Amino acid sequence: MARGKWEMVLGGNMQQHAAVGIARPVIQRLNALGITASADLDAFWKLVKVRDGVDRGKTIVGRAGLAKHFAVLLEGVACLSTQDKEGGRQIYALHYPGDFLGLHSSVLPSVEPSEVQALTSCSIGTIDRDALEQAIQRHPALGRALWRAALTEVSIFRQRLLVSRRPALQRVAHLLCEQRVRLGTDDGVIPLTQIDIADAAGLSVVHINRIFQELRELGVLAKQRLIEVVNQERLQELAAFDAGYLDQSGSLFQWDLRIED
Amino acid sequence: MARGKWEMVLGGNMQQHAAVGIARPVIQRLNALGITASADLDAFWKLVKVRDGVDRGKTIVGRAGLAKHFAVLLEGVACLSTQDKEGGRQIYALHYPGDFLGLHSSVLPSVEPSEVQALTSCSIGTIDRDALEQAIQRHPALGRALWRAALTEVSIFRQRLLVSRRPALQRVAHLLCEQRVRLGTDDGVIPLTQIDIADAAGLSVVHINRIFQELRELGVLAKQRLIEVVNQERLQELAAFDAGYLDQSGSLFQWDLRIED
DNA sequence: CGTGCTGTTGAGGACGATCAATGACGGTGG
DNA sequence: CCACCGTCATTGATCGTCCTCAACAGCACG
């Protein structure tokens, strides 16, 4: 995570970045969201200005108005969270490379103040809002992709609502399953702390710790500090996990993303 | 709630229905969603086929994907719910006259099976999906209105996620506040059973009952079977309720990218 | 080699679930 | 009109889950 604090890449070539490795997750994501034409991909990528070295704990997307930018996560882990007045942090959603950051504020402006925060050092790509709108005019597929991304976020909220009624072990198991799928990595490592998990699951850290011990006894998690899933199948059984809700590619209303003023 | 089981009103005139009283909530809602031009209102209303006499407990919008029509609630109370395998009912959202029913299935098709169910006798208006899409082409304001309605639903989900971490009294108080605002009536009566509240709040009926007794002691609820709020202010304090999340009339894209250093 | 953050462990207690039984109310049919 | 029934509301008792407080251990950092 070096490469200089501000690496402006205006109109850069996508393949170049793929070579650097930083663009690959984004391209994969865009593909998954239905953007396959390289003209569309290029159009999108031309909008992105890469920025490295956002430190852990920093706010990436705030909540106040006057937004000129929007972001894509390139490297690292971030979360969409809010503080309740006792200082407790509620994590609504976790973000991994390829995710769009700040969809929440475009989709749900007048909602409980929430923000996107870096959980590890992150690289992000910023996108100018006006430029994006123009690009969407010329490449409607981009609008649809954003729409789908927003739907997936919504779908995750709803699923969480269901899961929040289940006992802690299943809740945690479900959360871990979701992270595995979203990460899309092969090793079972989940790059979060128990504290993060607690805030995301809505449980106390102490209890999370005990749940983790159970999961380790069950042979689901590795017996180390690091959170590593070693038996994905068993985990899914425990969680009654069905990944369907993470795929909104079949959405009926394929409205073009409309932008008012 | 008589007036015949099937009263088809193809292309009926809006004012007529307003006279009947059945259309007023819908018109108010459409106004609130930004549809003010009478051309738009008429265009919408022409799509609606009125249907009376949906009995309590009946399914209004099923979970099978690809619904060809969706609905508007004209009279009565309905809910968006799902069953978990133990037979427990989780209520995601309550619907009152003017609400759109089945947005969930057009917006989030591949999600945990959920359905819209009548909680009292209801009158609904059904709307053909294809006809609606065509109307949206000619009246973009309709598209925006639906979009906003969907956003409000999403916003409610998210708020619930936050509230679900708070203790039962506040949770229930918050739920009641929300229902008061959504109902928009002057008397404090909330036309639900304790069972409904329990399923919506994710608490046991027994516990809901005890919470209600507390709320009555606090002078917030009337001391009768009927659920009636007699001290709205106190209730809002208890709930730390801010109605902001119920109003998504703000602009769609309000991005704010901020990076601290 | 402290200082700070994360993970771990124990003890006690609050909150809410569950089980079970009883009232209250409204509708239905005799 | 009354007896019956189903649904909803209420109450008591018990139990389990999860929280809180508190202390300590492991590890990374400067």
Tell me the helices (H) and strands (E) count for chain B, helix number first.
10, 8
Residue A111: CB less than 7 A from any atom in strand C? no
Q: Maximum CA pair distance of chain A? A: 55
The residue whose two tokens read 């109307």 is: B135
Task: Identify which of B144, B250, B255 has the shortest CB distance to residue A70.
Answer: B255
Between CA A15 and CA A12 the distance in angstroms is 9
Q: Looking at the predicted structure, is the pLDDT value of residue B181 above 70?
A: yes
Task: Identify which of B129, B249, B252 has the shortest CB distance to residue A259.
Answer: B252
* Sign of the alpha-carbon dihedral angle for A64, A69, A70, A72: negative
Cα atoms in the Cβ-side hemisphere of radius 13 Å centred on A60? 37
Nearest CA in chain B to A64: B256
| pLDDT value at residue B107 | 64
Question: Cβ distance A144 to A257 under 8 Å?
Answer: yes
| pLDDT value at residue A128 | 86
Between CA A37 and CA A32 the distance in angstroms is 12
pLDDT in tens, A227-257: 999 999 999 999 999 988 887 665 555 444 3
SS3 state at B95: strand
| pLDDT value at residue A119 | 95
In window 2-61 of B, residues with CB < 7 A from nucleic chain C are none
Confidence of residue B13 (pLDDT cuts 50, 70, 90): low
In this prediction, residues B156-169 reach a mean pLDDT of: 92
Q: Which residues touch strand D (CB under 7 A)?
A: A 167-169, 202-204, 206-207, 225; B 193-195, 205-206, 209-210, 212-213, 225, 227
Chain A residues touching residue B161 (CB < 8 angstroms): 90, 92, 157, 160-161, 164
Structure tokens at B36: 């003010």
Quick one: which of A66, A157, A47 has its CA closest to A105? A66
Structure tokens at A257: 């993303």
* Sign of the alpha-carbon dihedral angle for B25, B26, B32, B37: negative
Q: How far is A192 from chain B (nearest CA, A)?
A: 21
Question: Cβ distance B81 to B70 under 8 Å?
Answer: no
Question: Cβ distance B60 to B117 under 8 Å?
Answer: yes
Structure tokens at A110: 């007048």
φ, ψ of residue B221 to 5 degrees: the values are -110, 150
Chain A residues touching residue B105 (CB < 8 angstroms): 252
Q: Which of B86-95, B142-151, B177-186 has the lowest mean pLDDT?
A: B142-151
Question: Cβ distance B152 to B144 under 8 Å?
Answer: no
pLDDT in tens, B84-94: 877 789 999 99
- Beta bridge partners, B124, equal B51, B73
pLDDT in tens, B183-237: 989 999 999 999 999 999 999 999 999 999 999 999 999 999 999 999 999 999 9
The protein footprint on chain D, as nucleotides within 7 A of a CB, is 8-13, 17-22, 27
Higher pLDDT, A7 or A120: A120
Give pTM, 2 decimals: 0.86
Spell out the residues 6+ positions from residue B83 whose beta carbon is closer than 8 angstroms to its own.
Answer: B89, B90, B113
- What does the mean pLDDT of chain A come to? 83
DSSP letter at A98? T
Q: Looking at the predicted structure, is the pLDDT value of residue A19 above 50?
A: no
The residue whose two tokens read 């039962």 is: B168
Neighbours of A10 (CB within 10 A): 9
Cα atoms in the Cβ-side hemisphere of radius 13 Å centred on B86? 5
| pLDDT value at residue A6 | 39
